[in-house]
Amino acid sequence: MIEFKNVSKAYGNSITALSNINLTVNQGDFVFLVGSSGSGKSTFIKTLLKEVDPTTGSIIVNSTDITKLKRKDIPLYRRKLGVVFQDFRLIPTLNVYENVAFAMRVIEAPFRQISKKVPTVLSLVGLVNKLKAFPHQLSGGEQQRVSLARAIVNNPSILIADEPTGNLDPETAIDIMNILNDINHAGTTVLMATHAKDIVDNMKKRVIAIEKGIIIRDELKQFGNMSRTK
């Protein structure tokens, strides 16, 4: 569960990136975060990843107020999240298997667990036959699939996807969205920032629109009704 309570973020004295944000994302939700460049989407994601702290307000993630986390506890918090970026961020010197296994080694998972889980997750994203390939040998879509596998291999309760289809052709983007949908159906909360209006319209999920740091729309498309944040 994610809850923003009266969250604002100002950079200096002149730029307000977020203004009094109040929202709740329940476990198992799939939410699109939309808005133009400069709307506050990136700051929203950064506060959730604990890359920046809000100026005021609190952010609750799985019953923990992350605005009060000590610096030493931030890496442990981030390990409990799955994160996918537009630019993949794979380690070029590691092959597919090693890139995904790296996420498990970070949390000191046993070798036997790694050797069992990594092929299973790569099978889920359709890359079990690419175990020994290196990132430069993969297409953009395949690299994003590896990134997805790495993000979910530790069974995070929340997956944050920041423009995951931004560098992909339309057909490949659909494949990635189908995988994200499957991950969500398995119980993982998915929060995805995107500019892709066609994907948002077709998926019929909850849409939170931000403009100038303010939530201007919070729409539950799958139920056909709309609610505005107070």
| Domains of the chain (ranges, CATH numbers) | 1-80+156-221 (3.40.50.300), 89-155 (no CATH)
pLDDT digits (tens, 9 = 90+) for 154-188: 999 999 999 898 888 888 899 999 999 999 999 99
**Helix locations, 20-136, DSSP H:** 41-48, 74-79, 96-106, 111-124
The more confidently predicted of residues 195 and 24 is 24
Supply the pLDDT for residue 221.
59
Query: Which amino acid type is present at position 84?
Result: V
**Cα Rg for the chain, rounded, in angstroms?**
18
Span 75-133, pLDDT tens digits: 999 988 999 988 888 999 999 999 999 999 999 999 999 999 999 999 989 999 999 99
With contact defined as beta carbons under 8 Å apart, do 136 and 94 qualify?
A: no
Provide the b/e sequence for 16-47 (b: ≥16 CB within 10 Å). bbbbbbebebeeebbbbbbbeeebbbbbbbbb
Taking each helix axis from N to C end, the angle separating 111-124 and 96-106, rounded to the nearest 10 degrees, works out to: 130
Backbone angles phi, psi at 82, to 5 degrees: -100, 135
User: 85 is written with which tokens?
Assistant: 């970026």
Can you state the angle between helices 140-152 and 170-185, rounded to 10 degrees? 10
pTM for this model (two decimals): 0.89
Tell me whether strands 206-211 and 214-220 are parallel, antiparallel or unpaired.
antiparallel
- Confidence band (pLDDT; 50, 70, 90) for 224? very low
